[in-house]
Structure 1
Amino acid sequence: MKGSLWLAWRQQRALVLSGAALLAVALTVAVVSRAGMVSDLASGRFDHCETGPLHCSGADGLPLLLDIGPLQLLGFLNIALPTLIGMFWGAPLLGRDRELGTHRMVLAQGIGRAQWFTGRFALAALGSVAVSGLLALLFTWWWEPAADRSYGMFWYDTASLSGSGPRTVAAALFGLSVGTLAGLLVRRVMSGMAVTLVVTVAVTGLMELAHRARVFVPPHSYVSAGSAPKPLMEDKWSTGNYGLITASGRRDDVMNCAFPSGPELTDCMTRHGYVSRFYEANPSGDYWAFQWTDTALLGGLAAVLVVATVLLLRRRV
């Protein structure tokens, strides 16, 4: 290892070691906590529980729940990872040398701008992918015993939907790219960190709003007759949109016939001209639709930001 890559390692080794330490701590907590979850499930206390959005109750009438608190914390850590990587790894990547003026000394040693940037960013990107990817895999392994169960965590919970899968890696690269470009543009590490914080938090918030509004992954419509039970919700993610359908296809509010089922509902539907009822929800299979959509969007943004950084290097350095 020599040249710009050696210099990049010297400057980033503390961050690489910090990432390794974070992984070690997360793995230790996950192994202990998951073993406790598996032991609780093997005890038979949850054998009578079914899937679905309603909590499972014990003999005392209180909800039976696995201890998923630490798992949720890992999910939220994964969601915050792009901001942390962008602020503490991305912003100083070019910003520190720009602030101190040491980039001139480096470039005077015969190292070109492209080589100077590539060595630094490649190591940071590799570290970001390794940390985010391993944490995402750790979450999935830890989550598996409690996945989509009334006593565990459903796929559409924020911690699991946005804190696992390939979107975690794409988000980490996005955060790194934001921080790198911010450090290059503002020339001050602290200012670059502030810009990175604002941008990554804003994009994360917009992604969560898009999830809830089903902007990129539309819900499915489930229809049933009033005389028959409606399809079970189970592990679907409801939009909260329920209603009744007329013969012409018009959809009205469910409160026009506020009966769960049976003769009362049938009579009400007949009087108002309703032929069926519906609800809208995303099935569990849409987890991957959300994942790949987020991955494409965040990965695309990261690529655009990297290209912008490369194009601005000659003007800014």
Structure 2
Amino acid sequence: MIWLTWRQFRTQALVAGAALAVLAAYLLVLGGQIRHGYATDVIGCAPEDCTISRRLFAGRFEAPVAIVSMLVIAAPGLIGAFWGAPLVARELETKTDRLVWNQSITRRRWLAVKLVTLGLAAVAVTGLLSLLLTWSASRYDQYVGGRFAAANFGARGVVPLGYAAFAFVLGVVVGLVLRRTVASMAIVIGLYAVLQIVVPLAIRAHIMPPVTTTVALNADTLAHANGFGLNSTSARIMGYTLPGSWSTDSVNQVFNADGTPFTAEQNRSCMTGEPAKDFDCLGTRNLHFQYTYQPGSRYWPFQWLELSAYSVLAAALSVFGFWWIRRRVS
């Protein structure tokens, strides 16, 4: 039975192996470039140029890391569509199930071997991709601090293993119920895409209550923000992220030491045209803002909790599949 499974699956396995090899080579090169850039632009920068150098480092690697992250997140959905959906649906469409399931092997045993063998292959491929990306982007993640972002969290650590198991079993079950390969593939991709939007935006942030703290405004703070905005009544920090944490606010209002809003008029009194003097002047005002976030120490608890949730869903779908193939398929 395992030999037959391999014979039917070998084309997909070879394609996956080739894609994995190409992406692995690219990630090894990218990881070396990120480490070199981190050593020169972040650690070894000249003090007067550090803010600019660090922003250049983040901007240089933002696009390649984001693209590969999206590929890793998409991989389980593609596996579910191209490996899982045709697994039973193709047998039912071509009527070969009448031959396969009239042999000495029962339907449930046939399905169990397929689920375990190909399911482990799906998890292994996705796990290798995630491991390579986690290593390659580790220095970038360490500095930029976006490990909790939707495009990063789902492509690092152990969570992709849960995605792969769930997407593969989902594909098998949808194909088993619909009995149409193409329709099943489309539904699997659609459901997986919806989950990848809903979970990060509406569910993940509420797994644990966020923490609020006061952050002093200084040169290092600005190096981890997207910008500093001013209007007639207040000043704001845009896109600040504490390294390693998950920011729940995209804009944070800046306050004086006494708690009153910092204004553009107050800022003008410190603007001399010399950055060093300007920052020294702002530093004497003890400017600060309130920052709400998920601490970096919660990264792995979030990872394990989400992995557990998807594993439970995969197990529940498997149970349903065993029941359906015995009771509903004829």
Q: TM-score, normalised by structure 1?
A: 0.79
1:157-306 matches, within 5 Å, as 157-210=149-202, 214-222=205-213, 234-235=242-243, 236-240=245-249, 260-263=255-258, 265=260, 278-306=290-318
- Number of corresponding residues: 280
| Cα-to-partner distance string for 1:122-154 (whole Å, 9 max, x where unaligned) | 22111111101111111111012222314xx62
Where do 5+ consecutive residues of structure 1 fail to align? Answer: 244-253, 268-275
More helix by share: 2
| Cα-to-partner distance string for 1:197-229 (whole Å, 9 max, x where unaligned) | 2211112211121356x12122112258xxx87
Residues 255 and 261 of structure 2 are in contact (CA less than 8 Å); yes or no, is this contact kept in structure 1?
A: no
Q: Which amino acid aligns with 1:110?
A: S
Residues 90 and 179 of structure 2 are in contact (CA less than 8 Å); yes or no, is this contact kept in structure 1?
A: yes
1:8-157 matches, within 5 Å, as 8-42=5-39, 44-47=40-43, 56-58=51-53, 63-65=56-58, 66-150=60-144, 154-157=146-149
Residues 76 and 163 of structure 2 are in contact (CA less than 8 Å); yes or no, is this contact kept in structure 1?
A: yes
Where do 5+ consecutive residues of structure 2 fail to align? Answer: 222-240, 263-287
Q: TM-score, normalised by structure 2?
A: 0.76
The range that moved more, 130-139 or 157-166, is 157-166
Cα RMSD between the aligned structures?
3.1
Residues 80 and 167 of structure 2 are in contact (CA less than 8 Å); yes or no, is this contact kept in structure 1?
A: yes
Q: Which amino acid aligns with 1:46?
A: V
Q: 1:189 to 1:266 in 2, by over 3 A?
A: closer
Residues 133 and 169 of structure 1 are in contact (CA less than 8 Å); yes or no, is this contact kept in structure 2?
A: yes
Q: 1:101 to 1:36 in 2, by over 3 A?
A: same
| Cα-to-partner distance string for 1:174-206 (whole Å, 9 max, x where unaligned) | 100110001101111011112212211112211
Q: Identity of paired residues, percent?
A: 29
Matched residues in 2 for 1:311 and 1:116: separation?
13
Residues 165 and 311 of structure 2 are in contact (CA less than 8 Å); yes or no, is this contact kept in structure 1?
A: yes
Matched residues in 1 for 2:160 and 2:136: separation?
16
| Cα-to-partner distance string for 1:238-291 (whole Å, 9 max, x where unaligned) | 222999xxxxxxxxxx6xxxx522357399xxxxxxxx9843211111211321
Q: Which residue number in structure 2 is paired with residue 271 of structure 1? A: none
SS at match of 1:147: helix
Matched residues in 2 for 1:282 and 1:24: separation?
35
Residues 221 and 279 of structure 1 are in contact (CA less than 8 Å); yes or no, is this contact kept in structure 2?
A: yes
SS at match of 1:221: strand
Residues 129 and 173 of structure 1 are in contact (CA less than 8 Å); yes or no, is this contact kept in structure 2?
A: yes
Residues 81 and 189 of structure 2 are in contact (CA less than 8 Å); yes or no, is this contact kept in structure 1?
A: yes
Residues 87 and 194 of structure 1 are in contact (CA less than 8 Å); yes or no, is this contact kept in structure 2?
A: yes
Q: Which amino acid aligns with 2:325?
A: L
Q: 1:32 to 1:264 in 2, by over 3 A?
A: closer
